[in-house]
Structure formats: C-alpha cells, structure tokens
Amino acid sequence: MRTITILQNDAGQRLDKFLLKLMPDMPKSLLYKLIRKKDIKYNGARCKGMELLQCGDVLTLYVKEEFFRSGTKSLPSAASGKINPVYEDDDILIVYKPAGMFAHSGNAKNAVVLVDEVQKYLMDKGEYHPETEQTFSPALCNRIDRNTEGLVIAAKNAQALRAMNEAIRERHVHKSYLAVTAAPLPKKKDVCTAWLKKDSRQNMVKVLDSPPDRSWQKICTGYRVLAQNGNYQLVHIDLLTGRTHQIRAHLAHLGAPLLGDPKYASGRSPEENQCLCSYSLHFSGLGDSCLSHLEGKRITAAMPEFVRKYFPDAVI
C-alpha cells in the first residue's frame, strides 16, 4: 500500500491522468479495474478517476510496487544548464534555442536537448527539485525544428504549463518569424492560404492550393518582404496557423524556399541550417489566468546571425 499526498504541481489535473504519470508502466485497463475494485481511494472514499485533484488530497493505492516510478529523474551528465534566457518570471522562461539543437529527446538519441538544459538551469537556480516532485518537471510549451533557431517557451510549474498550453491552443500567443529565402516571393506582401498533408514516413509535408480530400489541413501564412539582396529576400512571417513544417513547405510551394533548407530547397546552399528564426512572441487575450501579467507583452529576440550575414544593414 502507498499513500500519496497531492502537491501543488500535482493539483488541477484529473485523478486518472495523474495516476498514469505516477505509474507510467501500468496499462489503462488495469488502472480502471483497480479503481472499480476500490483498490484506489480518493480521500478515503471510492473514486471514479475523473475527480479534479486539489492540493492536500490524499490517495491510498493498493498497487504492486513494480508499477511506480523508480528513483529520481536524472538528466544527461552532459547537460550544462547554460541557456540563453530572453525573458523570465516566477512562472515561465523564454529561451533562445540555437539552430542544430533538438527541443525534445524523441529524435535526439543521446544528444543533450533543450528541455534538459532548461531543467538543469532551474535546478542550479534552486527552482526545480526533482526529488520532491511526484509527476511534474519543467516542460516546453512550444517547439521549433532542430535546424530552426529562436524563442521557445518553458513552464516552471504545472499551473503555468496548463495555462500556456491553453493560450497557445486558443491562439493567444502570436508568433512571428524572420527568414531568408533562396528566391524571391511572388509579392512584397501577402496572406496566403493553402492545404497541407504530412507524410510521416519521410517526415515531410506536401502543400497544395486546393485539397483533394478531407485529410488535408488548411494553412494560412502571412509574409512581408523587408529587404532584398540579389535573389535572397529577408522576410517577416506571421504564422496564422501552426502546422508541421508550415513555413518551410509553404514558402517552397510559393517558389521561395528557405535558404539552407535541407528538405524543401533544391541545390547546394551556403548554409548548414535553414535561415529561419522564431523571432517574436506577442501575448494577448490571456484574461485572468496566472499568465495575465503577460497581457500585451511582446518578447523579441536579438537579430539572428544569418540576417546580419546577408543583410548587414537591416533594421527590423
């Protein structure tokens, strides 16, 4: 038997979701069977699994020890905690991810990834204590491609993570990008609509002007040409929908692929990484959430090096 007391970072989520994080090796079917058999009790009483946890709630679990997480979360030994913070408060951290770094460990094999560096940074500051957390660890709220650089939002606590994820989902976080294209765009300024479909086997997407069936997703990308240097253009991009590889594939579809893009641009390139930067975040419509202090705030990164390289006199 185990007795679990709900902590601040555990509160606000459903009981069944909390238990699946606490016991990640437990099949869902077994979890709900244990709930039905009253082997899991919520504040000493029978539960259904849909209860919303509050700080101080007590769970009594008659569950085999093999299902519980073993030990404290450990970070890769190479994680240094050296990041480039652009904005920080008690709830969130906005950091500049360099090109070439993965945001998460999914495709990174043994490489150190941004989320590891963020967690190590917060551990070194004394703001994250993994040994006292039951299911929570600081997490990234948005991600950008490995070869894209720029602003990534991390949440320091569970309440901020839920609020920021909802704000992003409801389009209350407006994202702007800077890019250098390998060829001119058809217009100096436009808002373009198209349809996108992902090919998971090749980890690429296709873009068409009209959808052949309902499996295609609508995308909308706004752009404004800021400067031109030969065939290269410096472009400000407003991401009006957020789909996989949207900017890269949509610009290539318009005949202006990103300079250095290994997937959507053809021919040799002087750049190792695509010239794309998540440059600005603007927060609006946050209401009275724990993120209300960000209302109307715009967070802007420093000028990317690839912009300085091709457009040394550019003013954004």
Catalytic residues: 145
269-292 in b/e burial notation, b at 16+ Cβ within 10 A?
bebebbbbbbbbbebeebeebbbe
Q: Which DSSP category does 16 fall into?
A: H
Cβ atoms of 91 and 155 closer than 8 Å = yes
Cβ atoms of 59 and 12 closer than 8 Å = no
Bridge partners, 58 (sequence order): 5
Q: How far apart are CA 210 and CA 229, in angstroms?
A: 32
Q: Cite the beta strand spans of 156-275 per DSSP E.
A: 173-181, 189-199, 204-208, 217-229, 232-239
> How do beta strands 217-229 and 189-199 pair?
antiparallel
Cβ atoms of 67 and 81 closer than 8 Å = no
Q: Which DSSP category does 302 fall into?
A: P
Dihedral sign from CA coordinates of 130, 136, 142, 145: positive
> How do beta strands 149-155 and 276-283 pair?
parallel
User: Cβ atoms within 10 A of the Cβ of 179, count?
Assistant: 28
Q: How far apart are CA 276 and CA 256, in angstroms?
A: 13
Q: How far apart are CA 249 and CA 255, in angstroms?
A: 10
